[in-house]
Chains A and B, each alone.
Chain A
Amino acid sequence: MFLALTGFFFSLHLKATVPYFSILSHHTEIILQDDYTVTYKVKKSTLILDKKGLGHGNILIPYSEIHRIMAFEGRLIDPSKGRVVKKISAKELSDYNNISKDALFDDQRVKFYGMGEEKLPMIVEVEYEVKQSGNFYFNSWYPLWYYNQKVEEATLEIRYPQALGLRYRKYHFDLAPDSSQFGDEISLSWKMKGLNPLAKEQENQAMYLKILPKKFSLEGFEADMSDWKNFGLWFAKLMVGKGEVTASLKEDIHRQVRGLERDTQKIEALYRYLQENYRYVYIGLGIDGWMPQNAAQVHQLKYGECKGLTNLMRSMLKEVGIDSQYTLVNAGVNEEDIDIEWSSNQFNHAILRVPLEDQTIWLECTSKTNPVGFLGEFTKNRHVLVITEDGGIIDKTPDYQEPAFNTFLTKNVIELKEDGNAHIEGEYIFKGNPSNNFLGLRTTMNGKDQKSFLNRNLGGSGLLIFDFYLEHHVENFVPTAKINFTGDLQKFAQNTSKRVLIPLNWKKISKEDLMNGKLYVHDIYEIHVSDKLEPENKLPQITDLNEEYSLKINTSWKEGVIRVEKHLETHFTCSETGNDLTALWQKVNVASIPSIVFKKIE
């Protein structure tokens, strides 16, 4: 773990012009034992040359109940005199909780020593030993620890029993290890010298080594990590006996599904029960970080972490005769997909997969707002490990690119007043991804904040909502939010001396709306204007078809009512983000900018 936390990369193809602020030499020894314990011995010497490299001398050693620090020595050395300026004892290290985000508590801690205003150059030498009980956790090895750091020498030696087996994979380097065998123990070692510094911008040329034992164990649960099937079996073992349903839970379950016949109805009812009655709380101690809580325990506490809530949902479905599978995922809006060629622990979250005859439903059991069967940004469109009794299998969560998941329809009836203000009655329907914004409104905000949120996010500028009615429902596992509202539009139209300009694109498309790549919009406006206004010339009709989107706006005028109908379809790849997305967003909104021009008549 300590290696992973450094998180820095290296490339053999660097230009030597990258400045360096420190020079590092380090030796790491990893000793795996038959009893699945692992010992890490690290010796590290950092010569700090520049104050920008002071942080390179910081000492950071994570530990927990599973990772224990067995030995530590540190010293600061004045290189000009070769004299030890300061010895750093274990007691001098600060000791902090290193609790995961969103956890109420876990046992992850860190020992830390921060460099102060030492005179430079200065050498920081550190030696420590960490013993890990169980070899489930295994981190990659990085020859380079920091950007703008030169490496004089980096060595790694791994010793393991032949029976345990070992896998490794090299990234961006070809150096083969020296190997040797003494009895049953195999030794692999890598030695690198004179590595040039790396600039932050070069991180995608990273050099690192992934290492994993074939057989592993954590707190007595043994398994084989050499493929996903076997790796999944280990998780299946952890779940044995966790699905017990108590009499009182049974009663609750059957009360929820009473009178329901179809599986989809039962899934929906039990998921709603889970959302309304349980909350996410993570307390991770030791192996509890991986082992789900008992369903009965979660039922009693009315809270649990992702594994516990997922396991409870699985148990509830089983009780009503629906099979489902506990599934591991690397969750997060900007998280990279897992490496499916490297069976290992790459996960941070659990969800539930429910395979039905004609479709597969995915349930995010920690969310109080997600509609049934809809995963959202946190876990959609990525590979996952499905845990079955026969072992693990790789599957992929849906990407929700279909039109049904990317549509919004609006109908606006607007009464324009002489001063440019207006009254609006709107009916907005958001399907799939666009509904995301509004799903949690009722549960996460009070009434006043809901109105403010809608003022900001529902339409364009100047909206002041008086009343609204928000309805959520799910149609064939497509979440839908329907909002009916009335309100005022401050300065909806612009007045000049002779004219009134009415916007064609009052409700602009936001960048967030475009994020999923696919968007289907149908806006209808009925704008009632005074009989003292008449169209200046022909009403604008817009057709803009290109590779990224198609936009059609039709306008008509009849008996004091302007009718505007807008159809927009975007179709570009999700990778178009950042500046490209900004450009597209500008185009989509600018293309429809022309206003409808009315003359004021006496």
Chain B
Amino acid sequence: MCRSLIFTIFLIGLVNLHIEAQELIYGRYTTKEIEFEAVDFEPEADAVVLGEISTNKIVIPELESNVLRRIKILKPSGIQHGTVTIPFYSGSNSYVRMTKVKAQVTNIVDGTPKTLTLKEGDFFTVDLGNGWKEIRFTLPDVQVGSIIDYQYSKIDKRLTILEGWVFQNQIPTLVSIYSIDIPSELNYRVLSQGEQTLKHKFDWKKDGTYKWILKDLRSFKEEPYMSSPSDYYEKIEFQLAGYGFRGSNSVFADWPELAKHIVNIESFRSYIKPNKTYTQKLQELNVVGDNQLQMAKAIYDYMLENYEFDGYVGILPTDHIKQLLETKKNSRPELNLLLLAYLNQHGIEADPVLISSKGNGRSNIIDSPFADQFNQLILTVMADGKSYFVDVTNKEVPFGYLPVDFHVEKGFLIKDKESRLIPIQVNHRSGIQQSVNFKLEGGNDWVSDATIRFLDYDGIRMDRLKEKNGEEYFQKETMGFNMDQTQGFSFSSRNDPRKVVDMKWQKTFSTNGEELLFIEPFLYSRFSENPFQADSRTFPIDFYHGFLDNFNTSIDIPDGYELDDFPEDVSVALTNGTFSFNYKVTAMENTVKINSTIDLKQHVLPAILYQDLKYFMEIVTSKLKEPVVLRKTTLP
């Protein structure tokens, strides 16, 4: 019987790779390791983790972890791996202690191993602030062929959530082993992430030891259009699910029970159920609005104007409502809960929702009541029968929009007995609507009037870029204007009823009486160059939000000109249909109209589509620059 570990992954079978774990002993190398020269699945690698093992044992009240890692240097550029840093979270109360750190490097000189060992004074502990520390050391005489072993023990007093193990490294890893020995009175649930880890077959024994053995893990590197590396690591973590005899006492039986626990925390409760003093104070806010949505927006705007976000995030408030009302500055949970309190006191339904934002390293939320999966508190607001997700920490983000790294799959709704995981569906119609008209004014002077509307998240993005960089930089760098040809630029922004940024300008240019005139019909595109230049892709491509761009250009053909040529119509889509591009030219008597749409329906695309996406983007960027050709019929 699997007595104390509940696995949320489907068990395919068991494997026994125990021998490999035993073979990794500090300072003892196999002939295969000594002769190892290149990683077959990543031949360009300059160094490799030959093996690593993390052996863990819970001896209540502590978790003791012994870690051994073996690195081999394969190329001159890999010599940098002779310097090692081991970060760890110690906390303000020294939750974690690092002991028994040792390291050595072995070179084979004339067929004989020559080993150099670090002394105690060669290890440095660095305090990085905010509870983080780092052990640093560097090994001498590191060269191509060197084998580096280092080992340490970590004592961790935190048993509610165990740190677990990341199976991947910055360099490829041949084998990564994690084992944990859990006493029968504790019951843990596994939080897994990463394709290999989720599918992985693991080993367990009757004595309470559980083991994961992952092999041939690719090195981990950031790629463009990727939210955060930590969301993709192959890793496991453990959350305490029960305790007592055979772990029979659940920490939380279900989501409502977890919600009840959270709501009963005094600081949290002070917002959800404020006492009379604060109820009155909250109700005193004069809110004007014809309907719930208008009132909710008014309260939201009031909060933005009068309260300041201090940059800290979390899922639980540390401060009571009283403090926030006095200081008017606090972290995300306090601000969002105060918004909730204001809304509730004005008859508008609002509930807290916990999410794991992108970059939190928990992209795979499991349907078990563990609060540690989450890192942010937002709200869901019901106004006039329609629901909105809200976060009141950013002055640039209007009511009903979330930061783009909050666009995640699921969140935990805290709502009495209805508490559960809910989908985070942020309704928006982001996109760019471009309308351009070209006409000849005077002898050889052409004018193009451009109006571009940026909607929803695209509007928020443009507002932010202009605010951050100033107008001159915005025009030159963001919009790519040639300032000698640009006149009458205007920028306006509004939040209601949705986020809209409007820009207008004129582009002028003169001809020199050429017979052929080439006109690029569109003046702006979110993809002026193909952003995907890498050869291949390992991780999904994250655009953060979908969009629908609609470009319309009309060119008035003046007397003395005729339409000679124009780009061919195109209609292409990625194989899964989530990204499509259409381009159509309609020629009429004195006008030619060019219409194009770029439609991204799903903002995260799987890596398998990368080559198609790369070519798709090349078509899009190239096509949008193709010219319409006018021919002069009356030559001077």
What are the interface flags for B113-138 relative to A under an 8 Å C-beta threshold, 1 for contact and 0 otherwise?
00000000000101111000000111
Given A579-B473, A582-B477, A496:B629 Cβ within 8 A: yes
User: Are A494 and B626 in contact, with the CB atoms below 8 A?
Assistant: yes
Given A279-B79, A490-B615, A491-B622, A496:B483 Cβ within 8 A: no
A residues near B458, Cβ cutoff 8 Å: none
- B552 CB-CB contact with A under 8 Å: no
A residues near B516, Cβ cutoff 8 Å: 536-537, 597
Q: In the complex the two chains form, what is the Cα distance from A590 to B483 in whole Å?
A: 13
Q: Which residue of B has the minimal Cβ distance to A493?
A: B622
Q: In the complex the two chains form, what is the Cα distance from A79 to B494 in whole Å?
A: 44
- B246 CB-CB contact with A under 8 Å: no
Q: In the complex the two chains form, what is the Cα distance from A583 to B615 in whole Å?
A: 31
Given A97-B128, A455-B533, A279:B615 Cβ within 8 A: no
Q: Which residue of B has the minimal Cβ distance to A446?
A: B44
A residues near B536, Cβ cutoff 8 Å: 448
- B141 CB-CB contact with A under 8 Å: yes
User: Are B140 and A494 in contact, with the CB atoms below 8 A?
Assistant: no
The 8 Å CB contact of A444, one of B77, B137, B567, B625, is: B77
> In A427-459, which residues have CB < 8 Å from any B CB?
442-444, 446-452, 455-456
A residues near B568, Cβ cutoff 8 Å: 495-497
The 8 Å CB contact of B327, one of A117, A536, A597, is: A117
Give the secondary structure class of A's interface.
mixed
What are the interface flags for B123-160 relative to A under an 8 Å C-beta threshold, 1 for contact and 0 otherwise?
01011110000001110111100000000000000000
- B534 CB-CB contact with A under 8 Å: yes
Give the secondary structure class of B's interface.
mixed
Q: In the complex the two chains form, what is the Cα distance from A451 to B536 in whole Å?
A: 10
Q: In the complex the two chains form, what is the Cα distance from A301 to B126 in whole Å?
A: 22
Given A302-B141, A590-B482, A498:B564 Cβ within 8 A: yes
The 8 Å CB contact of A499, one of B44, B77, B565, B614, is: B565
User: Are A586 and B482 in contact, with the CB atoms below 8 A?
Assistant: yes
User: Are B136 and A104 in contact, with the CB atoms below 8 A?
Assistant: yes
- The number of inter-chain residue pairs (CB within 8 angstroms) is 135
What distance in Å separates the Cβ of A580 from its nearest Cβ neighbour in chain B? 11
Q: In the complex the two chains form, what is the Cα distance from A494 to B570 in whole Å?
A: 13
Given A99-B126, A496-B568, A446:B627 Cβ within 8 A: no
The 8 Å CB contact of A452, one of B46, B518, B535, B627, is: B535
User: Are A95 and B127 in contact, with the CB atoms below 8 A?
Assistant: yes
Q: In the complex the two chains form, what is the Cα distance from A456 to B535 in whole Å?
A: 10
User: Are A496 and B77 in contact, with the CB atoms below 8 A?
Assistant: no
User: Are B138 and A281 in contact, with the CB atoms below 8 A?
Assistant: yes
User: Are A452 and B534 in contact, with the CB atoms below 8 A?
Assistant: yes
Q: Which residue of A has the minimal Cβ distance to B529?
A: A461
Q: Which residue of B has the minimal Cβ distance to A450?
A: B44
User: Are B143 and A97 in contact, with the CB atoms below 8 A?
Assistant: no
The 8 Å CB contact of B142, one of A279, A448, A490, A583, is: A279
Given A448-B44, A496-B565, A586-B482, A501:B622 Cβ within 8 A: no
Q: In the complex the two chains form, what is the Cα distance from A554 to B530 in whole Å?
A: 28
Q: In the complex the two chains form, what is the Cα distance from A590 to B142 in whole Å?
A: 50
What are the interface flags for A462-500 relative to B under an 8 Å C-beta threshold, 1 for contact and 0 otherwise?
111100000000000000000000000011001111110
Given A105-B136, A495-B626, A579-B476, A461:B43 Cβ within 8 A: no
- A277 CB-CB contact with B under 8 Å: yes
B residues near A97, Cβ cutoff 8 Å: 126-128
- The 10 A-B residue pairs with the shortest CB-CB distance in the complex, in nearest-first order: A446-B44, A447-B44, A491-B622, A452-B534, A105-B124, A490-B618, A443-B77, A456-B533, A301-B140, A455-B533
Pairs across A and B, CB under 8 Å, 14 listed: A117-B327, A276-B76, A281-B83, A448-B536, A449-B44, A452-B534, A456-B534, A462-B622, A464-B535, A491-B622, A496-B627, A499-B629, A501-B518, A501-B627
- Beyond the given A283-B124, A465-B535, could you list 16 further A-B residue pairs with CB under 8 A, ordered by the A residue number? A96-B127, A104-B138, A105-B126, A303-B82, A368-B77, A446-B46, A448-B535, A449-B221, A452-B534, A455-B534, A456-B533, A462-B622, A490-B615, A496-B565, A496-B628, A497-B565
